[in-house]
Amino acid sequence: MSTATTHPPKPSLGTTLKRVGALTAPYFRSDQKWKARGLLLAIVLLNLGAVYMLVQINEWNRVFYDAIQEKNQPVFWQQIVRFTWLALIYIVIAVYKFYLTQVLQLRWRAWMTDHYLARWLSQKAFYRLELARYSANDAHTPDNPDQRIQEDLNLFTSYSVSLSIGVLNALVTLLSFVGILWTLSGSLTVPMPGGGNFTIVGYMVWAAVLYCGVGSAITHWIGKPQVRLNFLQQMYEANFRRHMTRVREYSEAIALDGGERVERLQLDTRFSSVMGNYFSLIKNQKNLTWFNSFFSQAAIIFPLVVAAPRYFSGAIQLGQLMQINSAFGRVQDSLSWLVDNYTTVAAWKATSDRLTDFEASLSTQSQASRTFEIKPGASGVDADDLSIALPNGRELLAHADLHVAPGDTVLVHGPSGSGKSSLFRTLAGIWPHARGRVALPADTMFIPQQPYFPDGRLRDALAYPEAAEHYTDDALREALSDALLPQLADQLDREDAWSQKLSGGERQRLAIARVLLKKPAWVLADEATSALDEDAEATIYRRLVDQVTRARGAIVSIAHRSTLGEHHRRRWTLKPNGTDEADPAYRLEDSPAARASA
């Protein structure tokens, strides 16, 4: 279950626009800036052209309907031909405006996806974010970065382009038609109760402003909860999808435990959140649809009702009435842009909030100065004044000095929870809750408790993260055989999900085969043979020790099994540093390893 906040942030409008600007600007300043700016300029020009054509069509309304009223057949057919050309030009503009808008959105999404994948995968940010998300003292780390990169970036670029172009179009349309409507409106004289008259110049414009202003205010009042509901909907959908992925990844363990009922309850709980929030969103959208439907239907006859007195008094002709109706419709559409797009704006706001949270977390990870230094290229494994803590701040190891020289074989031993794996991660440079200095030889490999293998060919899983083409088939088969996996030697080109296909012991042996293939001089292993029988473990360790010895390196192993003592000459033992059993800190003692005993 995600520990991320269940309530979206509520920044001010100004803060939101600044944060969205920070998301938007990098693309238009990137190495693709000229293509991006060129596309944007073309779209803007096409929008201006579309509005210009609408102005021409508005003028056509006056001439055409005046010809009908006057029964002027030559002008009627002349205007039919004119409309054909106007409509054709407008259609061409509309098609290319759509096409270029989609191209801009597609290229922008591709750039942002590449940008965020690079940042997410650099400096171990993907690991640090997951670590922070499950830390007791960091409950606001963004959940589901996969969804934010895959889905939110798509929605953000799509909504940002469509909404910004929509705002531009509404503004240009308003500026183009408000003058026309003002001129056509004339003046409205209203008798005053106490005598005299009050004249309203350009009264149709003021009617449009009043009509749309009231409509926008009511729309915002009804639809405001949609921002929060959309934010939560995306989170609940991602949590539901994530748990189904976990069931698939751990299918064997769940099946062996008979955990189907529990997993069904977990999935039902998450899906209930999805459906409950979505139903709330639907109810709010229903209320907004009620109002929008009344608003849009009333807008059809509202300008005719307001302008009708001047028409029936003979002040204007039918063509002018239709021109007023058309101009009013354009002005009303522009002023009611928020009414028409509120649901999209709410979804865009929620998506923007999720992405800005993600951006802030990535920036925090990249700007955070590590309190310990990693120096590659050393002649041995060295740690000076090393202190290690848990994410909640509880200290495990304080001010330790460690040294591993060429030829050493070191066994790390200690009770569960004493920080052995945290020490392993610190030496690897990925544990953020550490202080001190660590130096590592360049030719170092780490074997984690749970090795990762990409789906695909076995040769790619074995050579990961290097390209399999760097190794000959004979070298790959030899590594598999030395790791006690001769049955896989003829399956190098077989494609499979190896993390699920292989047993726990086979996965560990495949990880060791990777080390035997690459022949590093320095190896650090965290419970790397815990799933193997003692005979297989002894064989594997003899080969690992022989390899690092020939390469004039060393091996550091974390293990609980006592039989590993015979393969190591030194032992680092983590022992409680005091008598507080509820919150023990540990010290590390360096001593010769007892042969075949722990």
User: What is the distance between the alpha carbons of residues 236 and 357, in angstroms, rounded to a whole number?
Assistant: 17
User: What is the distance between the alpha carbons of residues 503 and 489, in angstroms, rounded to a whole number?
Assistant: 16
Q: Residue 564 gets which letter from DSSP?
A: G
HEC per residue, 344-395 = HHHHHHHHHHHHHHHHHHHHHHHHCCCCEEEEECCCCEEEEEEEEECCCCCE
The pLDDT value given to residue 135: 63
The pLDDT value given to residue 596: 40
User: What is the distance between the alpha carbons of residues 510 and 452, in angstroms, rounded to a whole number?
Assistant: 10
User: What is the distance between the alpha carbons of residues 438 and 388, in angstroms, rounded to a whole number?
Assistant: 12
Mean pLDDT of 300-317: 78
The SS3 of residue 314 is coil
User: What is the distance between the alpha carbons of residues 365 and 430, in angstroms, rounded to a whole number?
Assistant: 12
Is pLDDT at 34 greater than 70 in this prediction? yes
The pLDDT value given to residue 541: 95
Give bridge partners of residue 386 from the DSSP assignment. 400
The pLDDT value given to residue 430: 85
Confidence (pTM): 0.73
Mean pLDDT of 394-410: 91
Domain annotation for the chain: domains and CATH numbers: 13-367 (1.20.1560.10), 372-592 (3.40.50.300)
User: What is the distance between the alpha carbons of residues 297 and 211, in angstroms, rounded to a whole number?
Assistant: 13
182-215 tens-digit pLDDT: 877 777 666 677 666 677 777 778 888 888 888 8
The pLDDT value given to residue 89: 93
User: What is the distance between the alpha carbons of residues 440 and 380, in angstroms, rounded to a whole number?
Assistant: 6
Is pLDDT at 175 greater than 50 in this prediction? yes
Which candidate, 596, 594, 578, places its Cα nearest to that of 586? 578
Question: What's the count of helices (H) and strands (E) in the chain, helices before strands?
Answer: 18, 14
User: What is the distance between the alpha carbons of residues 387 and 398, in angstroms, rounded to a whole number?
Assistant: 4
Contact 555, 526 (CB under 8 A): no
User: What is the distance between the alpha carbons of residues 544 and 568, in angstroms, rounded to a whole number?
Assistant: 11
- Among 26-35, 294-303, 504-513, 566-575, the minimum mean pLDDT is found in 294-303
Backbone angles phi, psi at 502, to 5 degrees: -90, 150
Per the model's pLDDT, the better-predicted residue between 102 and 245 turns out to be 102
Alpha helices in 70-121 (DSSP H): 73-121
Contact 401, 409 (CB under 8 A): no
User: What is the distance between the alpha carbons of residues 33 and 254, in angstroms, rounded to a whole number?
Assistant: 50
Is pLDDT at 577 greater than 80 in this prediction? no
Q: 4: which 2 tokens?
A: 């991320």
The pLDDT value given to residue 3: 40
Q: Residue 148 gets which letter from DSSP?
A: I
The pLDDT value given to residue 473: 95
Percent of the chain with pLDDT over 90: 33
Q: 557: which 2 tokens?
A: 């192993």
The pLDDT value given to residue 598: 34
The sheet carrying 434-440 orders its strands as: 372-376, 434-440, 381-389, 395-404, 586-592, 570-576, 409-413, 554-558, 522-526, 444-447
Is pLDDT at 17 greater than 50 in this prediction? yes
How many residues can be counted in the chain?
Answer: 598
256-280 tens-digit pLDDT: 778 888 888 988 998 999 999 989 9
Q: What is the mean pLDDT of the chain?
A: 84
State which amino acid sits at residue 426: T
The pLDDT value given to residue 458: 95
How open is the CA angle 418-420-426, to the nearest 5 degrees?
120
Mean pLDDT of 336-365: 83
Per the model's pLDDT, the better-predicted residue between 176 and 584 turns out to be 176
Which candidate, 40, 176, 174, places its Cα nearest to that of 97? 40
The pLDDT value given to residue 597: 38
Asked, as a colleague might, if the bond just before 520 is cis with ω within 30 of 0, I would say no
Backbone angles phi, psi at 437, to 5 degrees: -130, 135
Is pLDDT at 229 greater than 90 in this prediction? no
Q: Is the dihedral of CA 285, 287, 288, 289 positive or negative?
A: positive
CA atoms within 13 A on the CB side of 187: 7
User: What is the distance between the alpha carbons of residues 178 and 28, in angstroms, rounded to a whole number?
Assistant: 33
Q: For residue 531, give every residue at least 6 positions away whose Cβ sits within 8 Å of its Cβ, in sequence order, or none.
A: 503, 504, 505, 507, 508
Contact 342, 92 (CB under 8 A): no
Which candidate, 499, 455, 493, places its Cα nearest to that of 477? 493
Mean pLDDT of 303-321: 78
Q: For residue 242, give every residue at least 6 positions away whose Cβ sits within 8 Å of its Cβ, in sequence order, or none.
A: 2, 144
Contact 144, 239 (CB under 8 A): yes
The pLDDT value given to residue 169: 85
- Strand 570-576, strand 409-413: pairing: parallel
Q: 474: which 2 tokens?
A: 């004979």
Percent of the chain with pLDDT over 70: 90
